Amino acid sequence: MEAAAQVAHAITVHAVKVDDDYFTAVDDLNKHDEDAGAAHIGETGFASGVFYLYVCINKTLLCENLQNDSELVNKTLAAFIESMTKVSPTGKQNSFASRAYTSYLLAEKGTQQPRSLSVAFLKPVQGSDLLNDAIKNLNAQYENFDHVYGKCADDRKSCLVTTEKSEGSLSEIIGFLTAGEPCSNT
């Protein structure tokens, strides 16, 4: 079965400096009755960043994969979009507690060839307002694509969450992407 979703690797929109976390693990309670125990010294690299993630969902193929069950398709889309925006990878959570939610979500739909906006970050974002500058770059990139190639999506909707303001909502995006009969042939 062919997957109905394509997920690109997340990339940072800016240059990243990797730091090292030097750590030790020692059994301080071991009394050496049976063995001397073990200790460990290690280091692991870490960084933080503002990430761009591109996801493409082929709704027609999703309908085929789910036997044209429109209700199941919409539930699947809603769950996928919510988890994509709110659930963090679990690796190293106990070490770094990375629990970031999506700060900007741009959703597009239509029958045209999808395209990633990752080229908006070929020149890394710099400065003290990485999120807002990244959003400006994204918007400029889709406007440039629309200018050169014609309208690249039939419709688009976004939601934004920053420390200064919030616009739109996740439920609006989900409603936008699940509107209508997903498995009709029209």
On whether the CB atoms of residues 101 and 51 are closer than 8 A, the answer is no
The reported pLDDT for the residue numbered 37 is: 66
Could you tell me the residue ranges of all domains in the chain?
A: 5-15+48-178
The reported pLDDT for the residue numbered 165 is: 83
On whether the CB atoms of residues 7 and 116 are closer than 8 A, the answer is no
Paired tokens of 82: 């919510």
Q: Give residue-wise pLDDT tens across range 122-150.
A: 999 999 999 999 999 999 999 999 999 99
Average pLDDT in the chain: 89
pLDDT band at 163; cut points 50, 70, 90: low
pLDDT band at 71; cut points 50, 70, 90: very high
Q: Tell me how crowded residue 4 is: count the other CB atoms within 10 A of its CB.
A: 20
Q: Give residue-wise pLDDT tens across range 47-62.
A: 888 999 999 999 999 9
Residues 73-97 have a mean pLDDT of 88
**E strands of 55-171, at which residues?**
55-57, 104-109, 155-161, 166-167
